[in-house]
Amino acid sequence: MDIFLQQLINGLTLGSIYALVALGYTMVYGILGLINFAHGEVVMIGALSSLTFVRLLENSGLPGTLVLLIGLLLAALVCMTLGFAIERVAYRPLRSAPRLAPLITAIGVSIVLQQLAMLIWGRGYHSVPALLPAGRHEFLGASFTNVQVVIVVVAALTMVGLTLLVNRTRLGRAMRATAENPAIAGLMGVDADRIISLTFVIGSALAALAGVLVSANYGIAHYHMGFILGLKAFTAAVLGGIGNLAGAMVGGVLLGVIEALGAGYIGDLTGGVLGSHYQDVFAFFVLIVVLVFRPSGLMGEKVAERA
């Protein structure tokens, strides 16, 4: 039971981060029908740039939490600028191009960001200073840290905030209208280009947050961290039904929990034949099974076949 609970807690932590990143994928996909392959790299830039800002402020005598907060805000600013620029340079000119063209530019952007990060921050792994007050709590035989609590709470609050933003505000209504049909939304007075830019900016801010949280969770950051994280988050978004905000959250948390439980139990289940290094197989296997039975994801709407 304690292993189960422990893995559930770990999975929930990891899943909250997946969900935050998945939101970025799903928001862009919902509006443009485009896989923003570079989103994982934005997360990485968020993590590394926040680390740089934190390093600069580390000895200023400010309390750790405040330093982290300032680092996060500055990193978010960097990522938002980056997201805005990516959309302008790599996606906007290709709105009416063949579907695979923006996918290739996205891959190009992702390669460029990764190499730039390598040139700026080097190939090595950076250890992330623990700025949050350390603490470990026991709960029914399982234990969790303050960092994990912060991750889950912050992620949950962000998701609630985003849901309110999309469903209750004027901007959210414009976003939903643009997602439905950019041309008609334009006729109703929505500036679709502005809304698309804003979507990228909001998604990138979430990416920065996710980057800070994930590096706090593992205690390390490196130029290559965005790739696999982006892949998992995209998987989570598809699992939940891409283009659907609630789906991304559910998919993210579910994927995290499945991975953690899979890693914890796969050895016992198969009599030690398969070890925990098959963790990733588990995630992708579940994805394939779900998509075979529900081709548009868990919470995706059934799309009518186009005539």
Partner 1 sequence: MSQPRKPWLGVTLVGIALLLAPLVVGASLGNAWVRVLDFAALYIMLALGLNIVVGFAGLLDLGYIAFYAVGAYLYALLASPHFGVHWPAWAILPLGAAVAGLFGVLLGAPTLRLRGDYLAIVTLGFGEIIRIFLNNLNSPVNITNGPKGIAGIDAISVFGHRLSKSIDIGGFTVSGVMLYYYLFVVLALGIVFVGIRLQDSRIGRAWVAIREDEVAAKACGINTRNVKLLAFAMGASFGGVAGGLFAGFQEFVSPESFGLMESIMVLCMVVLGGMGHIPGVIFGGLLLTVLPEAFRHGAGPAQQALFGKVLLDPEALRMLLFGLALIAVMLYRPAGLWPEPRHRREMGK
Give residues in contact with partner 1 (CB under 8 A).
29, 35, 89-90, 93-94, 97-105, 107-112, 114-116, 118-119, 231, 234-235, 238, 242, 272-275, 277-278, 280-281, 283-285, 287-288, 291-292, 295-297, 305-307
Pick between residue 98 and residue 189 the one whose CB is nearest to partner 1: 98
What are 155's two structure tokens? 């992620």
What are 171's two structure tokens? 């901007």
Pick between residue 118 and residue 149 the one whose CB is nearest to partner 1: 118
Pick between residue 71 and residue 102 the one whose CB is nearest to partner 1: 102
Pick between residue 54 and residue 257 the one whose CB is nearest to partner 1: 257
CB of 290 to partner 1, least distance (A): 10
What are 45's two structure tokens? 């830039």
Angle made by CA atoms 157, 117, 222, in degrees to the nearest 5? 65
Distance of CA 168 to the CA centre of its chain: 23
CB of 24 to partner 1, least distance (A): 15
CB of 153 to partner 1, least distance (A): 30
Could you give phi then psi for residue 97, rounded to 5 degrees? -80, 170
* Residue reference for tokens 């699992």: 239
Pick between residue 70 and residue 107 the one whose CB is nearest to partner 1: 107
CB of 119 to partner 1, least distance (A): 5
> What gap in Å lies between CA 212 and CA 214, rounded to an integer?
6
CB of 40 to partner 1, least distance (A): 12
Burial class (CB in 10 A: 0-12, 13-18, 19+), 98: exposed
CB of 295 to partner 1, least distance (A): 5
Percent of the chain as helix, strand, coil, to the nearest 5? 75, 5, 20
> What gap in Å lies between CA 257 and CA 15, rounded to an integer?
6
CB of 42 to partner 1, least distance (A): 15
Angle made by CA atoms 153, 158, 162, in degrees to the nearest 5? 150
Contacts of 113 (CB under 8 A, 6+ apart): 38, 41, 42, 44, 45, 82, 226
Pick between residue 108 and residue 133 the one whose CB is nearest to partner 1: 108
Is the CB of residue 19 less than 8 Å from the CB of residue 159? Answer: yes
Pick between residue 170 and residue 277 the one whose CB is nearest to partner 1: 277
- What is residue 59's DSSP assignment? G
CB of 217 to partner 1, least distance (A): 22
Pick between residue 6 and residue 36 the one whose CB is nearest to partner 1: 36
75: helix, strand or coil: helix
Instruction: Tally DSSP H helices, then E strands, for the chain.
Output: 11, 4
